[in-house]
Structure formats: C-alpha cells, structure tokens
Amino acid sequence: MSQIYDRVALIGLGLIASSMFWAMKRGGLVKEVTGYARSAETRQTARDIGLCDVVCDSAKEAVRDADLVVLCVPVGAMGVVAEEIAPALKPGATVSDVGSVKRAVIDAVAPHLPDGVHFVPAHPMAGTEYSGPTSGFAELFDERWTLIVPDGAGEEATQKLESLWQGMGALTERMEVEHHDQVCAVVSHIPHLIAYTMVGVADDLRRVSDREVVKFSAAGFRDFTRIAASDPTMWRDVFLNNKDATLDVLGRFSEELFKLQSAIRAGDGEHLHRYFTRTREIRRGIIEAGQDTGVPDFGRIKKAE
C-alpha cells in the first residue's frame, strides 16, 4: 500500500486511536503520526509502548502541520477538542472523527473549524469492550465496515479518507447523517443498552439467589457481560447524543417485548415459535452473506500477555 498522508494527528489515545495507529503502520499508509491524550499517564503509556511517532503534550502541538486530524475522544468531548485545536489547524487539512454518533458530533465540531479545512466524519463499526492506549491492535478494522458521513465535504478529501480506511483493512460505505444515527441505534446502541440492563438485572437477582446467577451463567449471558463491560463514559455520551433515534428504537423494542410477554403468559407457543424462526433466519442470512461480525478476541489476548 502506498502512503496516503504525510502527517496524521490522533487526538485521544484509546482503543480506536491505538488500533488506527497500528493499522496505519502495518499498511505503511502515513509518514508520521503524532498523538495527544488528555492525561499525562496515558501520554506516558503511549511513549512507553511506541504508540505514535511523537506524543505531544498539547492537542495544538499535535495537530500543527497535520494533513489529517482524527478526533478519537468520547462523543461528548468532540466539540471542546475541536474548539481547542481549531486555531492550530493547517489550511487545507482534513479533520475527521470516529464517534459512534454523527448528527451531534457534526453540530458540535463543524462551527469551530476554519474555512478551508475539510470535515469528513467517519465511524468504524468495530470495537471491543476494552479501552485505553494498550487495548488497540492492527487487525481491529479488517473486513469490518467503516461508515463515511461526508455531509457536504469535498470529493477529494472524502476519497482520501476512504483510501486510508481501506488501507487499514476496512470496507467503506457512505451514509447520510440521520440515517447513520438510526442504523447505529438499531445495530449497536440499543443492543448495548439491552446488555447493560440484562447484566444489571442479573446482578440484582444474584443478591437474592446467592451468586448462582453468575456462577452458572451460560454462553448467552456471558456475551451480554462482555458487551456490558464497555466503557461507561463512551456509552453515556452515545445515549445523551443520539436521544431521538435511541428512544424511537427503544419504543419499538418495548412493544415487541410486551407482545412476547403476552404470548408467554397466554401460552401462545405458535407466536413464540414463529418469532424465533424469523430471527433465526436473520442470523443465518448474516452468516451466509459472510458478514458474521463476531469480534475475534484480540483485545483480551493482548491484555493477557
């Protein structure tokens, strides 16, 4: 793969930024990567493990001369960071982000960016329940979708960013802002909320059933606990910043749940069987299409070493 940008700056050095760094290095996609994290401890860890070619002590210093700046902080912090770096951005540079929500991030970031700077939001549909600078790995984006949400950005800047994501192993697709937030509410945000709820309920039950709920937990529940271990700050910000879409999907989910509840109470096995047959077909369709997005557990392997 050939070099796509001379200099890239990563702001916020957690799971996604560190995975981007290792993936960019693996592909030889960038000449130099600078990085900045808010906490001195994270910056020191980054230096210790060789995360970024240069770790800077301020966000402004990191973005100076960068051709691409990627905001890799929680969704609720994007606006503040954009305001801070804006005066130091190179004319003609591209700013992107990896936030899980797009409308709120665009509204928070775009007003701060000077004329002549391109803003091309993006969102990798890949992650793990781990966070922080040591959790990243080069393979995270391989064969996974990254949604590009140009929202009026220029074609040249958009294509360059797409090439970077493809070079990092991802498949890319362009999406309109509101559609992105709706789709992600369905495939990512509400599933996380359900997992958080289920694990919370099980924990409450454990208090009355003497730890048995967790002791005998089977694979299904363990999958829930993996998802429910995801970063609380990140997910707080996702729900606070994608209110409309998540509340809409949650409403539909509750209606379906009530129907299933009634079917159980009424002994309506036919309804239950029909429902479970339909959902099994959905899962089989995903596997046949080669899009089983089960995350290989690289994060855990790395942590255990």
Residue 60 contacts ligand NAD per CB under 6 A:
no
Minimum Å gap between C-beta 233 and ligand NAD is 7
By C-alpha distance, which of 158, 226, 11 is closest to 99? 11
Shortest gap between Cβ of 238 and ligand NAD (angstroms)?
6
Q: In what order do the strands lie in the sheet with 94-97?
A: 54-55, 30-36, 5-11, 68-71, 94-97, 118-119
- Torsion, Cα of 296, 186, 289, 173 (10° steps): -90
**Residue 84 beta carbon to ligand NAD: minimum distance, rounded to whole angstroms:** 8
List residues binding ligand PRE (CB under 6 A): 100, 125-129, 188, 230, 295
| The one among 66, 81, 161, 168 contacting ligand NAD by CB under 6 A | 81
Span from 123-131, 174-182, 200-208, 218-226 in contact with ligand NAD (CB under 6 A): 123-131
3-state SS, residue 201: helix
For residue 31, give both structure tokens.
Answer: 């000449």
Q: Does 228 bind ligand NAD (CB under 6 A)?
A: no
Could you tell me which stretch among 85-93, 126-134, 241-249, 264-272 binds ligand NAD (CB under 6 A)?
126-134
Confirm or reject binding of residue 121 to ligand NAD (CB under 6 A).
Answer: no
Q: Which of 57, 59, 36 is nearest to 112 (CA)?
A: 59
The number of residues that bind ligand NAD (CB under 6 A) is 28
Q: Whose Cβ is closer to ligand PRE: residue 5's or residue 235's? A: 235
Closer to ligand NAD by Cβ: residue 80 or 301: 80
Minimum CB distance to ligand NAD, residue 37 (Å): 4
Helices (H) and strands (E) in the chain — how many of each? 14, 9
User: Is 48 within 8 Å of 35 (Cβ atoms)?
Assistant: no
- Sign of the CA dihedral with 159 first, then 161, 167, and 169 last: negative
CA 127 from centroid of its chain's CA atoms: 6
Q: Does 98 participate in binding ligand NAD (rule CB under 6 A)?
A: yes
Identity of the residue, 117 or 125, whose beta carbon is nearer to ligand NAD in the bound complex? 125
